[in-house]
Structure 1
């Protein structure tokens, strides 16, 4: 079918290669025009002697409209503290459920008990509402004709996107089909390590190289094409600007929880930063989507199968689903920045823990060597699936140093959480990053013990299954979770096959944006295996 993708190429280039225009209307709108969510009303008929009313949920003193903002300003109790530190203090002071008013007058209930987390997830309904990425949602309204992606859409719009995307993204065979290409990316990472390490084997900071690795992997998944991140260190290069844009999007999205939503009234400096970053990411998505469509058309004309397990994601979404070109570009843009962020940080945390625990590292290396006798032995899906200790290391990394702090849901029905009535429509923050370090669930919770997750370990059988949910749960669980874990596992396998790794930097400090990331340089020493 020659020409199958011609229409897609023409229409996408015509409609999407447009620069966003700034909207200068309503600059003089009063602050009072900011919509405030209604405070949930407790149905007193559902409050019994065993269930306490919503108003009795403990929490910090809050002020009208500004809520707990003074705590985070200079001189405030939580000034310059990371979100995980604040949440931990609140949990210790108020218990497993507490509430606060955040900036803008919105009430947010925080829960830590895994039983409550399970209750929220299992009552999500068909269309779970996740409350995050408000700034990105507003950007899409202004500059994408309100075309939202998986991160920013809700209800039927989200469900339509999810159903079309997950057919490809969550199939194990599809994910496994990318192993050979991801191994080639990992080989480039290994070359980078070999060139970067000093005579004593030390590399002062690996964070940027892990980000490049993640960017290259997501390029293969989305476009079946490398982005060239390892081949150009110029700060003005396309790859470097792309990585900066990804970081800026996540940073701006994080700030929305502690600032007034003034971006809804006029383009604030942080919103302008988002515009610049999203515009660049969109240009990257358009450029490489066009290349992917052209390559697919050429293979089709040559009689090749372009619809196999590793069929390119962009042509698949544009030709095999009911998504519009605009929707595909928004979804791909989200995959790019979310995938790079998640994979690179998880890799950093896992290698950090292995570099500080040589006995665990040696045990994992022995498992790798058993299933892959030499570094030249091809990594296969079967080999990865049989690495039970690698899976345990991955899970323990998620528990001890999770990439995601948790989740935020808007309840669709009335619930009872830790003995309090929670009305439908309440925003609830699920702190799995705290429950995963709760001594009630995990003995010696601050220790790195992958054996917790070994199948015959009876200790793990007492853990509540919702004490750790790194990718969420249910219909709105992370759609790219299989790719993120596979990419990180392949990199760790390749590194340990060749090197003994020791962490020689300062103790890890994490900073919170939408996800947790390493805040300090991560120095490692790589010693060649004999």
Structure 2
């Protein structure tokens, strides 16, 4: 009780010491645009002396359950979408928020891209990320304790990243996948003809998008067609369901004490069952790909990793199953958000169509995507307006300072670029969809950290170019044949680890006159 009373007394002293009048706050906002222009008081430092992490404002922490009380029944955020909860936290506490989720596990939430830069500069060569605890535990128990890029840390992570980097991330590697991914896009376009009703509308389109992205990432990972676009395919549908379920369980993990580290909880058991489905299908296709003959003297990705890297079979299997697993919801949601943007902004759709309307398959295979400046700008603006993830997680690998606070090594940070990208302090006219803002010469300076959907630095997504190519190919094929119209004006979004539509999405595809 004495310790609790002492914490409360310190909190009261802090509030009293750092209180500001509303007029003083408004004056501070006029002085510098870096200060948050919100209705809540901004607490200006009373001294230039560096403050400790304990001084960062945030919700109160209760014994045993920390700040988790907010998300439990009776808490202010119980039943509230996570994105709305985070908006409320920023409004209440400002651009730097501390949440002691449970005792011993603290998260610092940052909302200003200037502060993101501080974290980037403090990353070092071995950036860490405290995420995917259940996946790490699964690998410990059922994967010979071999961790992939998502869960490995330190030298182990660095060595694996170096081995796969050139084979999946380089422009040359990505271009080598164009032909096979384009064949998937063409087949999907044929499938769409049978999905359209008399008016050209495809209802509940997201499951079909999952089919496309699963097949398109499959040809990269396994150098062969999986058959997911076949309506009778069951393996692919079970895989997609397992991916969706496992991601929703990882989201629940964020707000649940990690008892799975001690006992097999029902949630962890369900997670393991879904991971068994994902890993089982991955291993089946990996073993098939190893038997493929080389095409034109070129080894496929699995053969390159097997014969041209120092990775073991188990490491290759873990990496590829993660790549396969990670490419479904992320790329699928990027595509559905892009289609929504095209349907909502017909003038943007027309500009994009004019850029790509004459592209032939040969043009695309010979590098036409590299010169598609409006397409690239459109995708970046789409990812700003409709971010795939609600933020970017990092764990500091050394002591650093941001916003005047000392952040010690080992601190869990979330960079909320999703909110920074919609903040008028950092993006002019943030509610307007303007791809031109990203075309050089950029008319107005915008921090490069204001939208980082694939991360940054050494721990950025290695499949970024492959995913964007996958989305670009199907958008080109669709736009060359159809005009896209929205069936509803809004696209409600919910957060389940990733942002996703909260209700079925439908589009009308009107065939263009030839």
The TM-score normalised by the length of structure 2 is 0.88
| Preserved CA contact (<8 Å) 1:506 1:522 | no
| Preserved CA contact (<8 Å) 1:410 1:425 | yes
Residue-by-residue CA offset, 1:105-164 (whole Å, 9 max, x unaligned): 411111111111011112111110011101100110111121100001000111111011
Residue of structure 2 in register with 1:478 after alignment: 461
Local SS of the residue matching 1:230 = coil
Write the distance in 2 (CA, Å) between the matches of 1:377 and 1:224.
21
Post-superposition, which runs of at least 4 consecutive aligned residues in structure 1 deviate over 3 A? 47-50, 375-378
| Preserved CA contact (<8 Å) 2:482 2:512 | yes
Structure 1: 5+ residue stretches without partners:
1-46
Verify: 1:255 aligned to 2:252, yes or no. Answer: yes
| Preserved CA contact (<8 Å) 1:201 1:526 | yes
The alignment's C-alpha RMSD in Å is: 1.7
| Preserved CA contact (<8 Å) 2:205 2:506 | yes
| Preserved CA contact (<8 Å) 1:65 1:105 | no
Verify: 1:521 aligned to 2:509, yes or no. Answer: no
Local SS of the residue matching 1:428 = strand
| Preserved CA contact (<8 Å) 1:412 1:425 | yes
Residue-by-residue CA offset, 1:69-109 (whole Å, 9 max, x unaligned): 22112332111222221111111111110101113541111
Number of positions where the alignment pairs a residue of Structure 1 with one of Structure 2? 468
Residue of structure 2 in register with 1:149 after alignment: 148
Deviation at 1:470, TM superposition (A): 1.3
- Identify if the C-alpha distance between structure 1 residues 63 and 105 changes in structure 2 by more than 3 Å, giving closer, same or farther: farther
Residue of structure 1 in register with 2:389 after alignment: 404
Residue-by-residue CA offset, 1:316-355 (whole Å, 9 max, x unaligned): 1122111111111111110011011211110000000111
- Identify if the C-alpha distance between structure 1 residues 112 and 324 changes in structure 2 by more than 3 Å, giving closer, same or farther: same
Write the distance in 1 (CA, Å) between the matches of 2:138 and 2:80.
28
Verify: 1:436 aligned to 2:421, yes or no. Answer: yes
| Preserved CA contact (<8 Å) 1:122 1:474 | no
| Preserved CA contact (<8 Å) 1:404 1:433 | yes
Deviation at 1:174, TM superposition (A): 1.1
- Identify if the C-alpha distance between structure 1 residues 277 and 368 changes in structure 2 by more than 3 Å, giving closer, same or farther: same
Residue of structure 2 in register with 1:274 after alignment: 271
Local SS of the residue matching 1:409 = strand
| Preserved CA contact (<8 Å) 2:126 2:397 | no
| Preserved CA contact (<8 Å) 1:233 1:240 | no
- Identify if the C-alpha distance between structure 1 residues 288 and 259 changes in structure 2 by more than 3 Å, giving closer, same or farther: same
Write the distance in 2 (CA, Å) between the matches of 1:166 and 1:289.
19
| Preserved CA contact (<8 Å) 1:104 1:260 | no
Structure 2: 5+ residue stretches without partners:
1-45
Write the distance in 2 (CA, Å) between the matches of 1:411 and 1:453.
30
Alignment of 1:323-342 (within 5 A): 323-342=311-330
Write the distance in 2 (CA, Å) between the matches of 1:104 and 1:94.
20
Local SS of the residue matching 2:406 = strand
Verify: 1:345 aligned to 2:333, yes or no. Answer: yes
Verify: 1:389 aligned to 2:374, yes or no. Answer: yes
- Which moved further from structure 2: 482-491 or 173-182? 173-182
Verify: 1:242 aligned to 2:227, yes or no. Answer: no
Residue of structure 2 in register with 1:11 after alignment: none
Residue of structure 2 in register with 1:319 after alignment: 307
Residue of structure 1 in register with 2:434 after alignment: 449
Residue of structure 1 in register with 2:16 after alignment: none
- Which moved further from structure 2: 57-66 or 473-482? 57-66
| Preserved CA contact (<8 Å) 2:166 2:173 | no
- Identify if the C-alpha distance between structure 1 residues 454 and 286 changes in structure 2 by more than 3 Å, giving closer, same or farther: same
Write the distance in 1 (CA, Å) between the matches of 2:151 and 2:427.
34
Deviation at 1:215, TM superposition (A): 0.5
Residue of structure 1 in register with 2:122 after alignment: 123
2:355 corresponds, among 359, 367, 372, to: 367
| Preserved CA contact (<8 Å) 1:82 1:512 | yes
Residue-by-residue CA offset, 1:400-457 (whole Å, 9 max, x unaligned): 1111222221112221111111122211111111111111111221221111112134
Verify: 1:502 aligned to 2:510, yes or no. Answer: no
Write the distance in 1 (CA, Å) between the matches of 2:466 and 2:500.
19
- Identify if the C-alpha distance between structure 1 residues 97 and 381 changes in structure 2 by more than 3 Å, giving closer, same or farther: farther
Residue of structure 2 in register with 1:15 after alignment: none
1:294 corresponds, among 291, 296, 302, to: 291
Local SS of the residue matching 2:367 = helix
Local SS of the residue matching 1:258 = coil
Residue of structure 1 in register with 2:73 after alignment: 74
Write the distance in 2 (CA, Å) between the matches of 1:89 and 1:456.
36
| Preserved CA contact (<8 Å) 1:345 1:516 | yes
Alignment of 1:84-95 (within 5 A): 84-95=83-94
Write the distance in 2 (CA, Å) between the matches of 1:349 and 1:79.
27
Local SS of the residue matching 1:272 = helix
Residue of structure 2 in register with 1:206 after alignment: 205
Local SS of the residue matching 2:292 = helix
Alignment of 1:55-70 (within 5 A): 55-70=54-69
Deviation at 1:497, TM superposition (A): 0.3
